[in-house]
Chain A
Amino acid sequence: MGDGVDEMNEHTSGERSEDITEETDDRLSGERDDRFSGMRNDRMNVGDAGFLLPVERRYGSRRPTSASRAWHAVWSPLVAIGVVFSHLWRRRDTIQYPDEIAYFAPRYRGRIILSRDPDGGERCVACYLCSAACPVDCIALQATQDETGRRYPEWFRINFSRCIYCGLCEEACPTYAIQLTPDVEMCEYERANMVYEKDDLLISGPGKYHEHDFYRVAGLAIGGKGKGEAEREAPPIDVHDLLP
């Protein structure tokens, strides 16, 4: 049956070739590079859109005889039936969801989590940037400090019934704390359950950035770590000292 359709394509393209541009003709004859091979296989090439042209351009000076038009009127539905019937043996497109899970790319923007440092501390420094960046105002938090002056959120709340999973919070986050994950199975029967608290959001691992530790690269004196003691950092220079 596939041969039949190709044959028809060749036939019609031959009829039209005189008044269609060179480029189109190349594409129809299939002698272009591989970029167009997919289009040809899907039968989505420009030749199929010939019915959009006005009649006189469609056929040029040679209009088909009524015999050939009648033949096409009978033959093309039969080809169509054959093509549809042949889909009996094609691979199904359906992913049978609860049994099979679709592949989600690692960067898929799904459920939002709060990650931790490699050594287990909270990454979030409660800077409010995610909350400010959020276009639908679904993130709320309250900053506080521990005894060493390290900031962390006292509470952190994301209303997932508002969230549009745009990922702007993740982009705004200076510490890689807030991240979007490839998980979308978060349906609830009650809307109130869509509001996730800090306990629901905080995970035990570092998420997408395994080695990153904000306070180890931040150059900030905090929690017993002095200035210049972070990774790839030199001890601070005394600017009042004139020695080289």
Chain B
Amino acid sequence: MPEWVWQLLILFGVLIVVLSIAAGLIWVERRLLAVWQDRYGPNRVGPAGLLQVLADTVKIFTKENWIPPFADKAVFVVAPAIVLVTVLLSFIVVPVTQRIVIADLNIGVLFILGMSSLAVYSVVLAGWSSQSKYSLIGGLRAAAQMVSYEVFMALSLGGVLIMAGSFSLVDIVEAQRDLWYIVPQFAGFVVFVVAGLAETRRLPFDLVEAESELVAGFHTEYSGMKFAMFMIGEYLGITLVSALIVTFFLGGWLGPWLPGIVWFAIKVFVFIAGFILARATFPRPRYDQLMELGWKVMLPLSLVNLLVTGAIVVARG
């Protein structure tokens, strides 16, 4: 098999698998949330309610593609596409196994951080172009939250980068053959998980949507397929952050007995379920508490972690 066929296969394989995971997560999240709230969740359509995904898809495709007359039309339409594109592009550098990676960029980490920064534009522009107060407040909160949590999301990876000595995600996983980085980089792991949660705008950090105060935050005015793109973007974001945590801290595809791809899938699913569990558990913090946690706890923690890791690595020579 020529190399380019393999490349193409991986490309479309990753695209299809990732998109189906994002769609399937709608069902997974609803069932898991229900289970943790002593309910059943959707269990009527098809076996165990699995076809609920299909029913939802059909519903959302047949909805009217409505744009509010007061909205800034071009930006309004582009905004939901940005979140989808940036998250999907991030998957380019995520290695499922040593062989299954679309592009092993030697600046992989920077690429991902850049893409996640661009994703902020989606939310901010959506809030701005909607021309409605709730959307605007949601967008502003998104800007503040993303900017502050991005800082130590990158810093928390500093320790990993120092230890692995490479920006390539494949190299980072390879460097964990002896010891997963969750052990020496536990502080970095904690900070990255929190920052990742904030980057996906999921419940403990969903001040951007905050349905109890802002209707639906930045996507208040969105409906139909454009709303679905935000939803899919969010689920893709969960998948991406889980995959990144696994790659940076839990040795990616590494693991005994089972093939690498299975290990990767198991680890990623555990973290996806963890994100849903966090949503089931935590209330939404106040805005100032969010900022306080970010700048007064997480930033110093990641800085100290970076400093100590650097010192130890230098001392060892």
Partners in one complex: yes
In the complex the two chains form, is B39's CB within 8 Å of A84's CB? no
Residues of A within 8 A of B (CB): 77, 80-81, 83-85, 87-88, 90-94, 96
Q: How many angstroms from the CA of A85 to the CA of B37 in the assembled complex?
A: 9
Chain B window 182-196, contacts with chain A (Cβ cutoff 8 Å), 1 for yes, 0 for no: 000000000000000
27 A-B interface contacts by CB (under 8 A): A77-B281, A80-B281, A80-B282, A81-B277, A81-B278, A81-B281, A83-B281, A84-B36, A84-B277, A84-B280, A84-B281, A85-B36, A85-B277, A87-B35, A87-B36, A87-B37, A87-B38, A88-B35, A88-B36, A90-B38, A91-B38, A92-B38, A92-B39, A92-B40, A94-B38, A94-B39, A96-B40
Residues of B within 8 A of A (CB): 35-40, 277-278, 280-282
CB-CB under 8 A from B38, the residues of chain A are 87, 90-94
Chain B residue with Cβ nearest A78? B281
CB-CB under 8 A from B282, the residues of chain A are 77, 80
Q: How many angstroms from the CA of A137 to the CA of B50 in the assembled complex?
A: 47
Chain B residue with Cβ nearest A80? B281
Q: How many angstroms from the CA of A201 to the CA of B195 in the assembled complex?
A: 64
CB-CB under 8 A from B278, the residues of chain A are 81
CB-CB under 8 A from A77, the residues of chain B are 281-282
Q: How many angstroms from the CA of A179 to the CA of B38 in the assembled complex?
A: 36
CB-CB under 8 A from A91, the residues of chain B are 38
In the complex the two chains form, is A94's CB within 8 Å of B40's CB? yes
Q: How many angstroms from the CA of A96 to the CA of B43 in the assembled complex?
A: 10
Q: Taking chain A's interface residues, is the majority helix, strand, or loop, or is none over half, making it mixed?
A: helix
Q: How many angstroms from the CA of A85 to the CA of B32 in the assembled complex?
A: 10
Chain A residue with Cβ nearest B37? A87
Q: How many angstroms from the CA of A101 to the CA of B59 in the assembled complex?
A: 29
Q: Name the distance in Å between B297's Cβ and chain A's nearest Cβ.
A: 9
Q: Name the distance in Å between B35's Cβ and chain A's nearest Cβ.
A: 6
Q: How many angstroms from the CA of A237 to the CA of B278 in the assembled complex?
A: 83
Q: How many angstroms from the CA of A83 to the CA of B282 in the assembled complex?
A: 12
Q: Which 10 A-B pairs have the closest CB atoms?
A: A84-B281, A93-B38, A87-B36, A80-B281, A94-B40, A84-B36, A94-B39, A81-B281, A84-B280, A90-B38
Chain A residue with Cβ nearest B35? A88
CB-CB under 8 A from A88, the residues of chain B are 35-36
CB-CB under 8 A from A83, the residues of chain B are 281
In the complex the two chains form, is A93's CB within 8 Å of B281's CB? no
Chain A residue with Cβ nearest B293? A73
Q: Name the distance in Å between B43's Cβ and chain A's nearest Cβ.
A: 8
Q: Name the distance in Å between A87's Cβ and chain B's nearest Cβ.
A: 5
Q: How many angstroms from the CA of A85 to the CA of B35 in the assembled complex?
A: 9
Q: How many angstroms from the CA of A20 to the CA of B40 in the assembled complex?
A: 42
CB-CB under 8 A from A94, the residues of chain B are 38-40
Q: Name the distance in Å between A42's Cβ and chain B's nearest Cβ.
A: 13
Chain B residue with Cβ nearest A82? B281
In the complex the two chains form, is B39's CB within 8 Å of A93's CB? yes
Chain A residue with Cβ nearest B190? A74
Q: Name the distance in Å between B190's Cβ and chain A's nearest Cβ.
A: 9
Q: How many angstroms from the CA of A80 to the CA of B36 in the assembled complex?
A: 12
Q: How many angstroms from the CA of A90 to the CA of B40 in the assembled complex?
A: 11
Chain B residue with Cβ nearest A85? B277
Chain B residue with Cβ nearest A73? B297
CB-CB under 8 A from A81, the residues of chain B are 277-278, 281
Chain B residue with Cβ nearest A98? B44
Q: How many angstroms from the CA of A88 to the CA of B32 in the assembled complex?
A: 9
Q: How many angstroms from the CA of A46 to the CA of B38 in the assembled complex?
A: 25
Q: How many angstroms from the CA of A144 to the CA of B51 in the assembled complex?
A: 58
Q: Name the distance in Å between B189's Cβ and chain A's nearest Cβ.
A: 14
Q: How many angstroms from the CA of A92 to the CA of B37 in the assembled complex?
A: 8
Q: Name the distance in Å between A10's Cβ and chain B's nearest Cβ.
A: 22
CB-CB under 8 A from B280, the residues of chain A are 84
CB-CB under 8 A from B36, the residues of chain A are 84-85, 87-88
